[in-house]
Amino acid sequence: MTRHILTTGLAVLGLLAASTGTAPAQETDTRPNILVVVVDDAAFMDFGAYGGEARTPAIDALARRGMLFTAHRSTPLCAPSRAMLLTGLDAHRAGVGTIPEVIPPEHRGAPGYRLSLDPSVATIAESLQEAGYYTAMTGKWHLGHGAGETPDAQGFERSFALDASGADNWEQKSYMPYYRGAPWFEDGQPATLPEDFYSSRFIVDRMIDYLDAPERDGRPFFAYVAFQAIHIPLQVDPAYTDTYVDTYAGGWDALREDRLDRAIDLGFVAPDTTLAETPDRLRPWDSLTEEQRTLYTRSMAVNAGMLEAMDAHLGRLIDHLDATGALDNTLIIVTSDNGPEPSHPVGEPGFRFWMARNGISWDVETLGEPGTTAFIGPEWAFAAASPFNLFKFYASEGGLRVPLVMAGPGVAQGGRVDAATSVADIAPTLADAAGIDTGPARFTGRSLAGLLAGAPDTGFAERSIGFEVSGNAAFVQGRWKLVRNLAPWGSGEWQLFDIETDPGETTDLGDNEPLVLARMIASYNEWAETAGVLAMPEGYSVHRQIFRNAIRRQLSFYWPWLAGIALVLAGGIGMIVFSRRRKTHSG
């Protein structure tokens, strides 16, 4: 009953097209356009519609005329989430079980750990392209840049893509030592950014160019827009930043409580919801010096300003669709790939040296401007994830629970979906919207068409959903959630929570519910085996692995230069030894 409810008449047209192998005639092709927008590292409550502090009028307007999801989960890391979004499969089955920056050498090249989409897996872009859609993507890809790995080989007719976890937002350069530069590609070929580049503006401008291109020729489109905002480095025009300094002057402890209160007022969590204890590793706001408070307040202001700027550019794209008459027939999806980013890169070994070498500053006076880096760090990330626990990379709700807004044809207006949904559900939903009958075995996700049309929650309440990234794992089944987080923010042991009554994950029920715990672990293990999850090597540390992988990459970049120095040194030492021996023999 839930399949093909999204648009009854449109679906019939689409099915006819799929059955004959051709799209309907261009003048009568009324299938919906599709726009999928991914915001990078946005917390559950970051958008204004979810109670966030940043002004996001474009996203808020979509929420008012569409559906807002309150129990939507993604993986806790960017590339696995994007792989699931584009394929409708578990991340490991799609070939992207983790990211290159954190993978241990024992996992490299293993099935599920290609770090690029598996060639045997079809993306939703390929399916839509085959069904007669014009397909385009702009922004962050992070799913491979080798032969056959860029978007043009994955179903996108046009693309301008960044294959990295992030990059500078003002220039074509890296943001961390793992990368030598910023690898941008247009239609699979290395590309150069314009002089006036700013990521959110450019990503939207290029998408508008693609949608207006003559080769679209009246076809319905699938547009995938993947912003760099609000991934590290946080960068935006100071005019956006300045308006948020007072907003965050109270510090991260106050923000965490404020967001809990707003979540309760908005009905996202029950009135008796409590917050998890703050880890000892996180600094209380009142322990900071005045200088530190000024810097970190400004950092969070840049974060909010960058989000507002991104929303403004998204608004330009939506206005363009309206001006060209496409908006009313465009299904729009806006979500985040994972929870807020806790990294504090300036504290990592060698990062300040790398910054000095690349002319990058971390000064409060210029924070967010060209030539700077900025980030919110673990304390702000922990607060931003409220009312949930922890943040990006970890399998607690703060890492998994993300915003999801849908609007357009087939979507009930002003509604809210409280059902448990997953990032893997987006691809089958798009297939339904386009009237593509892929068969029941194509996806591990489920179409949301029925929920979007206002149908009852048929089967979502008790569904099982598994996630795993680099040892951090979760398995959700109805009210129960099984969680395991590795160090430094977890114990590595399984915990059991009643996620309905305890969304903050404050009380481990494993000892009280041993049968439930055993059943959930068995269910997780069964899912993990099917998905192709590998156990982590003994003693794995994500921070240590990032450092080792970055060093390995730097050596690969500069080995000819280092080898030349080594040869010169060896030659010099040899000459000294030879000279001394001659003197010895002559004496």
Catalytic residue among 72, 142, 145, 313: 142
User: SS3 letters for 471-519?
Assistant: CEEEEEECCEEEEECCCCCCCCCCEEEECCCCCCCCCCCCCCCHHHHHH
3 state SS of 348: coil
Residue closest to 337 by CA, chosen among 477, 231, 428, 201: 231
- Residues 6 or more apart whose CB falls under 8 angstroms from that of 99 comprise 77, 78, 79, 80, 115, 142, 165
Q: Is 3 left (phi over 0), alpha (psi -120 to 50) or beta?
A: beta
* 400 alpha carbon, distance to own chain's centre: 10
Could you tell me which residues are beta bridge partners of residue 161? Answer: 139, 185
Residue closest to 301 by CA, chosen among 227, 199, 376, 371: 376
DSSP assignment, residue 363?
-
Structure confidence at residue 564 (pLDDT): 52
3 state SS of 405: strand
Long-range contacts of 146-153 (CB under 8 A, 24+ apart): 146/116, 148/119, 149/116, 149/117, 150/185, 150/188, 151/125, 151/185, 151/188, 152/187, 152/188, 153/188
Q: Where are the domains of the chain?
A: 8-21+29-452, 464-531, 541-587
Structure confidence at residue 585 (pLDDT): 56
Structure confidence at residue 31 (pLDDT): 95
* CATH tag for 464-531 (out of 3.30.1120.10, 2.160.20.10, 3.40.50.2020, 3.30.390.30): 3.30.1120.10
* 133/411 Cα distance (integer angstroms): 21
Question: Which CATH superfamily, name and number, covers 8-21+29-452?
Answer: Alkaline Phosphatase, subunit A (3.40.720.10)
Structure confidence at residue 464 (pLDDT): 94
Structure confidence at residue 147 (pLDDT): 87
Residue 78 appears among annotated catalytic residues? yes
Residue carrying structure tokens 């909010």: 304
Task: Give 303: exposed, middle or buried? Use CB within 10 Å, 0-12, 13-18, 19+.
Answer: buried
Structure confidence at residue 541 (pLDDT): 86
* 231/552 Cα distance (integer angstroms): 24
How many helices (H) does the chain have, and how many strands (E)? 16, 16
* 251/271 Cα distance (integer angstroms): 24
Look up the pTM and report it: 0.90
End-to-end CA distance of the chain: 100
Residue closest to 360 by CA, chosen among 494, 232, 456, 253: 232
* 467/180 Cα distance (integer angstroms): 31
| Tens of each residue's pLDDT in the chain, 587 residues | 333 333 333 333 233 333 333 344 345 688 999 999 999 999 999 999 999 999 999 999 999 999 999 999 999 999 999 999 999 999 999 999 999 889 999 999 999 999 999 999 999 999 999 999 999 999 999 998 888 999 999 999 999 999 999 999 999 999 998 888 999 999 999 999 999 999 999 999 999 999 999 999 999 999 999 999 999 999 999 999 999 999 999 999 999 999 999 999 999 999 999 999 999 999 999 999 999 999 999 999 999 999 999 999 999 999 999 999 999 999 999 999 999 999 999 988 889 999 999 999 999 999 999 999 999 999 999 999 999 999 999 999 999 999 999 999 999 998 899 999 999 999 999 999 999 987 767 899 999 999 999 887 777 878 999 999 999 999 999 999 999 999 999 999 999 999 999 999 999 999 999 999 999 999 999 999 999 999 999 989 888 888 787 777 767 665 554 455 445 555 556 556 556 665 555 55
Catalytic residue among 4, 72, 78, 231: 78
* 41/380 Cα distance (integer angstroms): 13
Please provide residue 82's backbone torsions phi and psi, each rounded to the nearest 5 degrees: -65, -35
* 231/82 Cα distance (integer angstroms): 15
CA angle 456, 447, 440 (to 5 degrees): 115
* 314/181 Cα distance (integer angstroms): 26
* 338/77 Cα distance (integer angstroms): 6
DSSP assignment, residue 361?
B
Structure confidence at residue 237 (pLDDT): 97
Residue closest to 398 by CA, chosen among 275, 535, 232, 270: 275
